[in-house]
Structure 1
Amino acid sequence: MPQGDQLDDVASIRKRPGMYVGDTDRSGVHQLLWEVLANAIDEHLAGRSRRIDVTLHSDGSVSVADDGAGISLDVDEGGTSWLERVLTTLHDTATADGHAPHVHLRVCHVGLCMVTALSSTFSAEVRRAGRAWRIELERGRVTSELAEIGSADGTGTTIRFEPDETIFATSGFDVEVVARRVREISALLPGLTTSFACERHEHGADLEVADLLASSRQGAREHRAPVKGEARHGEAVARVAFEWRNWPVAPSVIGYCNLDVSPEGSHIDGFRRGLARALGRRDHRQVYASLSVGLNAVLSVLVIDPGYQGPTKERISSQDARAAVAEATARGLERALESDPALRGHTARLTRPR
């Protein structure tokens, strides 16, 4: 890889960091972490990883470790490893190597080069074939070439970095934000165990979407247990959990698309349609208006390359997402209505003509 190309990419990112991470405040610092997390999540989605550990260190750095296959160490004709290329050059495709499935956390997704360029220190340790390898960078420049550092148990990648305080107004991480995000990811990805270091909160593989239902909601549940459903349609997988509480407040419906909160779009419409379908109704808007009293819901959809409306990518537009969420909602509610008389009575009261 020509040295000039590397410098061009790094210099471009450091000159206009806002183009890559949004604001250069704490939200930008978190965006660096989400980029690293996205790569670890890809390993899980590909079936190669079952655990991700996130640690906030006392020196201001953060590390993300996974038990996946480990980033490739293959060397090209010019003598540059794939690992170094990923860490020092931008790519203009969804992923550097075109792998799928892949998720993007938030709107920036230009790869790990963004993280190395905006970090004062960065290291990557890769465990493959019983050996461990390490490379170190500072502000996007390699300071310690890739080298074997000894034997290793298992496989995986550990990335540790410290955001550059000359770039970010606040280079520290918000503990609550990171802890909540790590917990959300575990709940939204069945089979994945995550841990967050600071206070060592571990979120097991048995965590599920229902665990994200707001615990602060007032009032008691109107029925036996949360309604849960799961379905796949095309390239979308949906999981939902919802309940009704005897407190007449505005509905709380939290939607996720590819692990990010997405408050509007096809998945929300699919949830409303699924409620109506389970009750044998077609007028989903009217049915939702009736059922929204005391409603508390969380719905998640994973979909490859969803469409978005608007520059902030907050409103998704995907027929697969709509269909998958509608199916998951309808299935879950139909099963619950069959087994829970209290739920049947409550939904009947809410939808009774007035």
Structure 2
Amino acid sequence: MSDAANPYAAAHIQVLEGREAIRKRPGMYVGSTSERGLHNQVFEVSDWAVNEVLAGRAGHVDVALESDGCVRVAIDGPGIPVEAAGHTGEPSLEELLTRMHAGRRSGGRRFVGVGLFGMGPFVANALSSRLTGEVQREGVRWVQRFDCGAAAGPPSPEGLTTGTGTVIAFRPDADIFGTAECSFDALAEHFRTLAFLNRGLDISLTDQRAPSGPRSERFLFPGGAKDFVAFVTAQTGTSDETGVFDFEHEDPRIAGSVEVALRWSHTFTGGIQSFANSMPTPGGGSHVVGFRDGLAAAINTFTRERQLLTKIDTDLRPDRLCNGLTAVVSVKLDHPEFEGATRGILGNVEVRECVALAVQDHLITWLAEDPRLASAVVSRIATSTWPAQA
């Protein structure tokens, strides 16, 4: 087919930027236009708010599902800068809501990944029919309104205040998400997980939509991953066979830290849940491989020393050791390397050995502290009392 019959020139190229690109292809930025995408829109804002808390710029995060369909995310603290008030040198309210990846730097292990692709509140604004940003700072209440991601005007002072903090309230665009509604349980699971993985993080979620009255839950877990494992096993109603083993380990070789918690029981329960910088890694990665290596090394060393295996028995394989196991494996790295845009697999090669050695050392110490209980647990593994993990 000739070029003359099908002319193609620069005039035929359509360039979409900023909010126009997001509204044209919303699935590329929040995953879908169904309930899942709606939740990711919320996470673009709430995860930014969580990072403000983790950075010490706020004390807690409050998320509310309002009866009129709006989502309200609020943090305390001094309030983010407002350019109209003369605050310069840091990203302002308008920049946060109209520029991709805006906001004060939140990199490294101390912060969580923002949203599905890490683009921040700008994405939530672009996919909202209306959004209001409110800042209470230095005695003044500032408000700025947006329509479909575009500022309706500059921030304006709307009275005096004795409070401080920042509120972002938005209505997801029905032309994009249709009749999809946020699920309280799905949002609660996300916030609960973040609170488990970050000791001291305080998040509350309130649902004002039900005619029967508000539903509210607060997430704050000082025990970290240990509380996480206890929660998972409690949900399944399994008996407490071993208590929860847990440890935290800082390792300069990976410029990061390792936190592990686990429990064995009579029945298969939660399996292994893994995270990197507080983001789920459903595909696993080097931290999960290292965990399995360390688990196998520790258990096999213990069983040989206690003569629970004969000299001719082969070592217990990691997949067999995971029968009846609930575990949380969390690494926090200054420089994480993920495979794929959705960050579902951790790729840092050096993490495998460091996690394996940490698990091996700490688990052997724990087993030695209570040989009677440890022998009972390992004997069950060795004799395959538990059903094989699916």
| TM category, shorter | 0.7 to 0.9
**Equivalent residue in structure 2 for 1:113, among 107, 122, 127:** 122
The 1:53–1:328 alpha-carbon spacing in structure 2 relative to 1, beyond 3 Å, is farther
Q: Is the 8 A contact 1:230 1:329 kept in 2?
A: no
Deviation at 1:244, TM superposition (A): 0.4
The 1:336–1:152 alpha-carbon spacing in structure 2 relative to 1, beyond 3 Å, is farther
Note if 1:86 corresponds to 2:96.
yes
Partner of 1:100: 107
Q: Is the 8 A contact 1:274 1:329 kept in 2?
A: yes
Partners in 1 of 2:354 and 2:182 — Cα distance? 35
Deviation at 1:240, TM superposition (A): 1.8
Q: Give the TM-score of the pair, scaled to structure 2.
A: 0.76
Partners in 2 of 1:128 and 1:325 — Cα distance? 44
Amino acid at match of 2:23: R
Note if 1:176 corresponds to 2:195.
no
Q: Is the 8 A contact 1:232 1:324 kept in 2?
A: no
The 1:64–1:96 alpha-carbon spacing in structure 2 relative to 1, beyond 3 Å, is closer
Note if 1:229 corresponds to 2:247.
yes
Deviation at 1:35, TM superposition (A): 0.8
Partners in 1 of 2:360 and 2:57 — Cα distance? 32
Amino acid at match of 2:292: R
Q: Deviations over 1:257-288 (max 9, x none)?
A: 23332121112112113324544759xx9442
Q: Which has the higher strand share?
A: 1
Aligned length: 340
Partners in 1 of 2:322 and 2:55 — Cα distance? 37
Deviation at 1:351, TM superposition (A): 6.0
Note if 1:238 corresponds to 2:254.
no
Q: Is the 8 A contact 1:186 1:207 kept in 2?
A: no
Q: Deviations over 1:9-39 (max 9, x none)?
A: 2222212212211211111111111111221
Q: Is the 8 A contact 2:264 2:377 kept in 1?
A: no
Partners in 2 of 1:127 and 1:328 — Cα distance? 46
Amino acid at match of 1:159: I
Partners in 2 of 1:327 and 1:144 — Cα distance? 57
Deviation at 1:290, TM superposition (A): 3.6
Partners in 1 of 2:353 and 2:62 — Cα distance? 33
Q: Which moved more, 1:112-121 or 1:45-54?
A: 45-54
Q: Is the 8 A contact 1:275 1:329 kept in 2?
A: yes
The 1:203–1:107 alpha-carbon spacing in structure 2 relative to 1, beyond 3 Å, is closer
Q: Is the 8 A contact 1:228 1:239 kept in 2?
A: yes
**Equivalent residue in structure 1 for 2:226, among 210, 214, 217:** 210
2:64 is paired with a residue whose SS is strand
Q: Which residues of structure 1 form unaligned runs of 5+?
A: 1-6
2:241 is paired with a residue whose SS is coil
The 1:9–1:311 alpha-carbon spacing in structure 2 relative to 1, beyond 3 Å, is closer
The 1:140–1:349 alpha-carbon spacing in structure 2 relative to 1, beyond 3 Å, is same
Q: Deviations over 1:276-312 (max 9, x none)?
A: 4544759xx9442342121111222233442122454
Deviation at 1:197, TM superposition (A): 0.9
Deviation at 1:77, TM superposition (A): 12
Deviation at 1:196, TM superposition (A): 1.1
Partners in 1 of 2:120 and 2:113 — Cα distance? 10
1:33 is paired with a residue whose SS is helix
Partners in 1 of 2:331 and 2:158 — Cα distance? 40
Partner of 2:343: 313
Note if 1:201 corresponds to 2:217.
yes
Q: Is the 8 A contact 1:88 1:116 kept in 2?
A: yes
Partner of 2:41: 32
Partner of 1:329: 359
Note if 1:273 corresponds to 2:298.
no
Q: Is the 8 A contact 2:29 2:116 kept in 1?
A: no
Partner of 1:59: 68
Deviation at 1:120, TM superposition (A): 1.1
Q: Which moved more, 1:104-113 or 1:165-174?
A: 104-113
Q: Deviations over 1:87-122 (max 9, x none)?
A: 12335xxx5554434432453222322111110121
Partners in 2 of 1:206 and 1:17 — Cα distance? 37
The 1:41–1:348 alpha-carbon spacing in structure 2 relative to 1, beyond 3 Å, is same
1:104 is paired with a residue whose SS is coil
Residue identity (%): 31
Partners in 2 of 1:328 and 1:155 — Cα distance? 43
Deviation at 1:342, TM superposition (A): 4.2
Amino acid at match of 1:235: A
1:148 is paired with a residue whose SS is strand
Q: Which residues of structure 2 form unaligned runs of 5+?
A: 1-15, 208-214, 303-314, 385-390
2:46 is paired with a residue whose SS is helix
Partner of 2:173: 164
State the Cα RMSD in Å.
3.1
The 1:190–1:243 alpha-carbon spacing in structure 2 relative to 1, beyond 3 Å, is same
Note if 1:291 corresponds to 2:321.
yes
Deviation at 1:179, TM superposition (A): 1.4
2:177 is paired with a residue whose SS is coil
Deviation at 1:155, TM superposition (A): 3.9
